[in-house]
Chain A
């Protein structure tokens, strides 16, 4: 072995041989560096990250060529359990932040990744989660370019918390905002509601239900880019995560000072999710989603947008679920499938503890 190779090896062994995370992995010493190199850098692997500087650096000219505004967002992921049908906390941490950028019309580009790990966590689980983050990032066309790792004593966190922040660029001419809904507009959704919330309840096992519901967790930037191509004038758009579609619609109604008339028969929902809600007494309108967008679009574009969404793999079950009206202002009214009407308000308190 040459002298240089020995120096390199001593500087960066690059191999984490431990089975479980200990406080040493957060100490700033060699164990931490090995963990970062072997688990995170190896998984995320890109030019910006591999430089291992304290910050990622971007060329401004490249960014400005994509649009005229920078979009930035952050979200923390504390889901329990870490692994659930159809996904895990890593997939969620990339998807959630990518989608928060995309619903503003931005092209998502770069993500950060901060990990807060409880000592005792299995390194193998961390590897699986990091691989899942990379896979999801590739799917969404983004890179994880900088990060941070902390280890906290047992009990100070619940296994693993992840924070991701994201940066994207909004093309000129796109102006999506919660206050732009106008009477006459229609509201579209890209598929079944409540899958993520139902999958989490199921995966927790508290309710002793046996189900096959998978999370809908998926990056939506490809679908949104396609929608913007046929309808650049999307008025409002949000991803309906915690609080479900009821919360997003209330946000639109209140910000735009309009009423929204929701049709229960038009809302796509799986029988399994409906059944679970019936048994547990939950309202699917408030169940969390991780791959659903609710968009307000001008009525004249509705047919074209829905046709395009249904042709896209992430929007096969898209539907027009509501129309925007003048009155009652700032209210969401549901026409029930039974022929009655009721107000759908913001949720007070929570339906379920800690869902994402």
Chain B
């Protein structure tokens, strides 16, 4: 028997005046899965989240939560009856309530509220802070209160709207791990909205990449990185060298030499070469390139090169060899590459 998905969005669209914020977005979120909606700011990802929460009404399309239609042409279930938790970018903690009052706000009346409160405070590591007011907490602590508050009514799905953007970079990695652990322990499904590819890749089981209101690709972080469907996706996830060339069947003729292709193509193309796929050294059949500059990173180094025809390249190379600016070096590509029609 197949379980019903936690969230199903089918051809969602939404316009604000003349601006088409979301266009025909569809995806499924399985139970217990962690999905990231990744895209540049203004791509419509937050609008998708707000439509799932019931804070915006889609112009068309269907949203189902745990198999129940909550929004389509006829029905619209208000946010308070969707069993969806939302963690806001600015946390939106009620300033006139203590931490405990904030967390208790959404809990059902009656049942073991004290026990549940203690459990939640412990889960987010704020056992001692129940009586404090939000303004007395650090950003990271406020973040965890917001998460505990969203989890308190035991939602089926938790939605996170750029939850780490207000935190110091130094704090972010730690808080990310905490949040991921807490959500995993709570056993809920989650949708994370972010513009940070590191965040999406490190937290999510599955990433949906959005540009200009549309989802361009959905897949695991590995699938997206290794087989992006377009140049745009390739460039948004990680670093990408896009090298112009001419393809015939499974080979592309480029300034880097003849590169084997994973899928056959014909005519003018751009070939995706990730920086870590470039091999630098004294390789007999490699293309000749000139080192422009290097940045040493300890474990590896970044080397900027330029090919004889002027094509720039970025390479991640082992740190053991020290390259000098102006030095000539030979370059080859490891493995088969992807080509996009130019």
Asked if chains A and B come from one complex, the reply is no
B residues sitting closer than 8 Å to A (CB atoms) are none
